[in-house]
Amino acid sequence: MRAPQHPANEAQRLVQLHDMKILNTPPEERFDRLTRLARRLFNAPIALVSLVEASQQWFKSVAGAYSASTTPRDISFCGHAILQDDVMVVENALNDSRFHDNPLVTGEPHIRFYAGCPLRGQGGINVGTLCILGHESREFSADDRATLRDLAAMAEAELAAFQTATCDELTQITNRRGFMTLGQLVLNDCMLKQRPACLTFLDLDKFKQINDTLGHREGDRALMDFADAMKVCFRHSDLFARLGGDEFVVLFNGLHQPEADALLSEFRHYLQQQTSSLNRRYALHFSSGIVEFASAHPQSLEQMLEASDARMYAAKKEKKAPF
């Protein structure tokens, strides 16, 4: 067996994949209809939309009798497929030195045939595949390859649509819709694994003065600066979003409140350094309110947002931020 190599742009590829905010999201009909169609068109027992992470591949859609939601990257066929620019075909895995003794060939799901077309993210980097699997060896014609490319193009369009629907157009971070979907998934996982989490509501202080004094264009720039600082300071495992206007939120995954407070303090410091280095005509300050998630007494995401919002407004009333 030969484990797949990592592409030269692996670090950039993983950043783009995580920025899509699609990993570990629930099944969706727009992807499922493509895998069902692939099964019918190619008379294949299994079709997948697979996204290749750092150490595993995760299936956004599975059509057919395949119960796994992930497999290790080092035994994946798709890990090899993303290294190519076109369809990768394995007509008989038993005759291929890369796969003949692969656990997915010698054991379940007993792959003999594989065809996978790379799926590109909006940055043009391969993040996964649309693929079909078979239990018997078979040939795959030029017309078959063209059909699989067409289906992959539709899958890429759906990936882009998912990102657009859950991404704030101005700041290019997660929007309210994306946060409400992904945030509840994070909390569900924390409850299942008995892991802590904290949520903080962030509201820019005296943001209206920036708009009124310097204009809405400068106000937009301030919001983008704030979001850019969030991208630098917070971890990939944290979920941060713009809820609307000058309201932002961060869900700290796996942190207790003292640790979340420390990260928030680092963010405040970085924000001031950033504003100074960019020679802005204002300083960005914000009010915040943190609430901690307790797996023993779980709250919904809506309840945590309401509680953190109330704490944020209480904090805002107690201070006067400089402009």
CA angle 304, 271, 180 (to 5 degrees): 25
Amino acid 278 reads L
Model pLDDT, residue 321: 47
Query: Dihedral through CA 12, CA 13, CA 14, CA 20, nearest 10?
Result: 110
pTM: 0.74
Model pLDDT, residue 199: 97
Buried b (16+ CB within 10 A) or exposed e, 41-52: ebebbbbbbbbb
Closest CA to 260 of 238, 280, 275: 238
Walk me through the domains of the chain, giving residue ranges and CATH numbers.
10-164 (3.30.450.40), 176-317 (3.30.70.270)
Tens digit of each residue's pLDDT (9 = 90 or more) over 105-136: 999 999 999 999 999 998 899 999 999 999 99
Model pLDDT, residue 320: 64
9 vs 58: CA distance, rounded Å: 20
* Cβ-based burial of 317 (10 A; exposed 0-12, middle 13-18, buried ≥19): exposed
Give me the residues paired with residue 59 across strands. 50
Q: Which residues of the chain have pLDDT under 70?
A: 320-323
57 vs 43: CA distance, rounded Å: 24
Side-chain-side CA neighbours of 305 within 13 Å: the count stands at: 17
